[in-house]
Amino acid sequence: MSQPETLSLSSICALINPSSVYLVGYAWVLGMSIWITFFSGTIAFRALPRYQFGALQRRIFPVYFAQGFILPAGLLVLWVRAHPTVLAHLFSPAVADVAQAYSLASGLLMQAANHYIVGPLTTRAAYARYKQEKTEGKMYDEQGISDEMKALNARFNLLHAISVGLNLTAVAALVFHGLWIGNTGTGV
């Protein structure tokens, strides 16, 4: 019969290593991404008036998008350091370690695009639409809105769709990576 492991200060400190940091970082970014993408927005949309929902989203998304590219950047650095074949075969995506680096990089790039470009443009479009609603005295979706409001609606809808597409691509890349490391380990 094997002896149970006894914890000591040194064994607890030994838990902090590149592999465990990698797994915690990955769990953090995947869990956050799934929660924000599939649950929190729906819950908030149903629970809050539209303007409060918009105000909440404007506070949440910059933090989410920033963490959504900072954490994968750190994971990518750890991955490349632990898998030298990535740099040796950088332009060979069929090499498994390279495909995983591409997966992390794509998630990083999608969320960076959302953080720096698409998110701010979407927020500006939403503000412009709020302002136009006050000017017209009508909600954006009422009958008889102006052509300017229709143009703002089209701009907001396009930007929102692009943001959603970027976000879903990032989530899919993280899930792909998770399936890989779940089957093969991190190797970090």
Residue 1 lies in a domain: no
Please list, in sequence order, all residues whose beta carbon lies within 8 angstroms of the beta carbon of residue 178, skipping any fewer than 6 positions away. 26, 30
pLDDT of residue 184: 96
Q: How many residues does the chain have?
A: 188
Please name the helix (run of DSSP H) or strand (run of DSSP E) that holds residue 29, with its range, or none: helix 18-35
Task: Compute CA distances 89 → 28, 97, 98, 156, 181, whole Å.
Answer: 29, 9, 7, 41, 19
101-148 confidence digits (pLDDT tens): 999 999 999 999 999 999 999 999 999 999 999 999 999 999 999 999
Please say if the pLDDT value at position 160 is more than 90: yes
Residue 63 lies in a domain: yes
pLDDT band at 1, cuts 50/70/90?
Answer: confident
Other C-beta atoms lying within 10 Å of the C-beta of residue 132 = 18
27-47 confidence digits (pLDDT tens): 999 999 999 999 999 999 999
pLDDT of residue 12: 93
Residue 147 lies in a domain: yes
Question: How many structural domains comprise the chain?
Answer: 1
Residue 127 lies in a domain: yes
pLDDT of residue 181: 97
Residue 65 lies in a domain: yes
Nearest by Cα to 105 from 67, 79, 66, 81:
79
Residue 95 DSSP symbol: S
Residue 4 lies in a domain: no
Residue 104 lies in a domain: yes
pLDDT of residue 177: 98
Residue 126 lies in a domain: yes
Residue range of the domain that includes 46: 9-184
